[in-house]
Chain A
C-alpha cells in the first residue's frame, strides 16, 4: 500500500471512531429508547469502516444485512445531544461576528487547494482528492478551535451530534453505489439499455443526452430521491448510451445528478423540500412551492441537456 492509501485507511478509521462514539452516546443517554439496537447499528457500521479493508468481504456484506434489519425494524433512533442554547449562541455570534465564516469557508477552500497541489506536485501525490476532503475537515477543525478557543471535546460532542442528526441515511450514497455494483454484476444495466435502445436511434447523441436527463428527472419524481435515481439511470442509460459512446464521464456524472434534482423540484414525493416548507410557511395552497418551481425545473432540465450535448462529446 502506498502512503496515500495508508492515509485513507487512517481517515476511514477516524470516521469509524466517530460512528462508535455516536453508538456510545446512545448507550449513555438515560432517556433514549432502543439503545441496544441503535448502538448495534453504529458499532457494526464502525467495524465495516475500520476493519473493512482487512476482513473477508462477505462478513462486511453480512454486517450490511444486519444493519438493514436494524433500520428496517425502526431500531435506530437519535439520542440526546448537547445542543447549544440559543442565547449563548447569540452572545457568541455577537462577540465573534463575521469571523466565524473563516473556518467554514476554509473547509471548502483548503480541500480545493490541497487537491490541486496533490494533482500537480508529484511529491505530494499522496494528497488524493479524497484525502484532501479529510485533511480539509481537520484543518477547518483546527482553525475553528483556535479561533473560538472552544474546548476540543466539542469536536466529539458536535461531530457526534451532527452525525446523529444525519442518521443512518448518511450511508445511503455508499449503499447505492454497492447496489449499482450488484445491478451491474447481475446485468440489470444491459436489460435497461436493451429496452431503451429500442426507442433511441443509435448514435444520436442529442437524443441520448435527452433520454438520460429526462429519465433521471422522471425517476427522481417517482422516488422523491435523486441519489437512488442516479445509480439506476447512470448504470442503465448513462454508461451504455453516453459514456461508452465516448462521452466524458465527469460531465455526464456531474450533470446527471443535478438533472435529477430538476425532478426533485417538481415532486410532492420530495416532501421535506416541497411540502413541509409549504406547511411551515402556512401557504394556502400546499402545492405553491412546486407551482413556483416547475417552470424553472423544466428550463434547467433543457439547459442540462444542451450543456451535456455540447460539453460531453
Chain B
C-alpha cells in the first residue's frame, strides 16, 4: 500500500517527460501525494503554503535581474563576443577549450552569455571550423558535425558545471531550500564554495577533450590524404 505514495513521484516523472506544464505538474503531484497519505485538503494547503513561504529564498535571484538587464542593454554580450573573437592562432581544440573556460567563468559569476544562439553559432563554430579548414583544407560533413557537437558541448559544460558557483544561482538556492526544508542548516555561500571543485575539474576535462579533438582532426586529415 505504501508504494501508492510514490504516485506523486510518478506524476512528476511523467509530467516532465511529456513536457506538460511544469508548475501544474508539481502542484498536482504534491496534492495527490498528500491525499494518498491521508492528509486533509487543509493540511495539504497549509504544508504547501508554509514551505513555499519559507523557501522564498529560492527565488532571490530576481533581485539580480535589473542589474544584469541593464548590463546587457549596454553591450555586455557584444563585448564578450569581441573578446572571444580576439583570440588569435588557436587550433580547433583550443578555440573550443577557451570558449568553455570563458563560459565556465561567466557562469560562476552569473554573467549570462546567452550561449547557443549568441555565441556558439555565430562565433565559436566559425572560429573552430575555420581553424580546422585553415590547417587541413576542406572538412567533411562528419568532421563538421563533430566540431559543431563539441562546440555546443563546451557551452553546456561551462553552463552546467559552474552555474552553482554563484551564490544566487537558482540551482544553488534550490539545494539550500531542499536541505533547509529537511532540517539541515546550509547556506548559499557554502554550497557555492563546494560547487567550485566540479567547475575546475570540468575545465581540466575540457583540456583533455581539446587535445583529443585536435588529435582526431589530425588523424582524419592523415587518413584522407593517404
Interface set of A (CB-CB < 8 Å, partner B): 11-12, 14-15, 18-19, 48-49, 52-53, 56-65, 67-69, 71-72, 74, 84, 89-90, 92-94, 96-98, 100-101, 103-105, 107-109, 111-112, 115-116, 119, 128-130, 132-134, 136-138, 140-141, 143-145, 148, 150, 154-159, 161-163, 166, 168-188, 191-192, 194, 219, 222-228, 230-232, 234-236, 239, 243, 249-251, 253-258, 261, 264-265, 269, 273-274, 276-278, 280-285, 288-289, 291-293, 296, 299-300, 303-304, 307
Contact A180 B205 (CB under 8 A): no
Which DSSP category, helix, strand, loop or mixed, fits chain A's interface? helix
A89 nearest in chain B by CB position:
B75
**A288, B48: Cβ atoms under 8 Å?**
no
**Alpha-carbon gap, A180 to B178, bound state (A):** 7
CB distance from B72 to the nearest CB of A (A): 7
CB proximity of A52 to chain B, nearest CB, Å: 4
B160 touching A172, Cβ below 8 Å:
no
Q: Are B174 and A145 in contact (CB under 8 A)?
A: no
Residues of A close to B49: CB separation below 8 A: 48, 52, 56-64
Whether B5 lies near A188 (C-beta < 8 A) is: yes
Which positions in B face A, CB cutoff 8 Å?
Answer: 2-3, 5-6, 8-9, 12-13, 16-17, 21-24, 26-31, 33-34, 36-37, 39, 42, 44-53, 55-76, 78-79, 82-83, 108-111, 116-117, 120-121, 125, 141-142, 144-146, 148-153, 155-157, 159-161, 164, 166-168, 170-171, 173-179, 181-182, 184, 186-192, 194-195, 197-198, 201-202, 205, 209
Residue of B24, B52, B152, B187 touching A289 (CB-CB under 8 A) = B152
Contact across chains for B149 and A283 when beta carbons are under 8 A apart: yes
Q: How many whole Å from A308's CB to the nearest CB in chain B?
A: 10
Whether A104 and B148, one on each chain, are in contact in the complex, defined by CB atoms closer than 8 angstroms, is: no
Q: A155's closest neighbor in chain B, by CB?
A: B66
Which single member of A59, A74, A280 contacts B117 (CB below 8 Å)?
A280
Residues of B within 8 A of A168 (CB): 23
Are the C-beta atoms of A159 and B66 separated by less than 8 Å?
A: yes
Tell me the complex Cα distance, A19–B159, Å. Answer: 26
27 CB contacts below 8 A, A to B, read: A15-B63, A57-B50, A58-B49, A62-B49, A68-B26, A69-B24, A107-B67, A137-B67, A144-B70, A154-B69, A157-B69, A158-B72, A162-B66, A172-B26, A175-B23, A177-B181, A179-B26, A182-B8, A182-B44, A182-B48, A186-B8, A230-B175, A230-B178, A250-B191, A254-B194, A281-B120, A289-B152
| Residues of B close to A171: CB separation below 8 A | 23, 58-59
- B192: chain A residues at CB < 8 Å are 112
Chain A residues within an 8 Å CB radius of B174: 173, 176-177, 227, 230-231, 257
A84 — nearest CB in chain B belongs to which residue? B73
Which residue of A134, A157, A232, A273 is within 8 Å of B9 (Cβ)? A232
Q: Please tell me which one of the listed residues B12, B28, B125 contacts residue A68 in the complex, with CB atoms under 8 A apart.
A: B28
| A235: B residues at CB distance < 8 A | 178, 182
Please state if A181 and B141 are interface contacts (CB–CB under 8 Å): no
A186 touches B33 (CB 8 A): yes
Nearest chain B residue, comparing its CB with the CB of A312: B194
User: Are A90 and B50 in contact, with the CB atoms below 8 A?
Assistant: no
State how many angstroms separate the Cβ of B166 from the closest Cβ of chain A: 5
Interchain CA distance A298-B139 in the complex, whole Å: 29
Using Cβ atoms and an 8 Å threshold, which residues of chain A touch B61? 133, 170
A19 vs B160: C-alpha distance when bound (angstroms): 27
Given contacts A254-B195, A299-B205, contact A293 B79 (CB under 8 A): no
B3–A191 CB distance below 8 A: yes
B78→A136 contact, CB < 8 A: no
Inter-subunit contact A60/B52 (CB<8 Å): yes
